[in-house]
Amino acid sequence: MDNQIDLNYDSYSMLVMNKQSEVRRLYTPFSVLSIESIDDIKMGCILYVDEIYTDEDDILLYKIMGNLYCYKYFIIMEY
């Protein structure tokens, strides 16, 4: 019986792979660059992710300025 637990993220950290193919844990707050305009956020803005969530379909969400946004609108700036 396999008791392995897959913890790729929690509310304040997530596993990422950097350009050197190294896996590391990234902790909030971390900076992201918006690659699309969404709500009041314009494309090209650098923002900070305060918390990490998922929705009912396990889509990764970032809490930014008190609102939840889908990860696909952002690029992580540091790792």
Residues spanned by the domain of 50: 9-76
Q: Across the strands, what pairs with 60?
A: 54
d(CA 48, CA 29): 6
Instruction: Convert the pLDDT of each residue in 50-69 to its tens digit.
Output: 999 999 998 999 999 999 99
**Dihedral, CA of residue 10, residue 15, residue 16 and residue 17, to nearest 10:** -170
Q: What is the pTM of this model?
A: 0.85
Residue 2 domain-assigned? no
pLDDT single digits (tens) 15-53: 998 888 889 999 999 999 999 999 999 999 999 999 999
Give domain status of residue 3, yes or no. no
- Neighbouring CB atoms inside 10 A of 42's CB total 10
Residue 61 makes CB contacts below 8 A (sequence gap 6+) with: 52, 53, 54, 55, 68, 69, 70, 71
User: Total domain count for the chain?
Assistant: 1
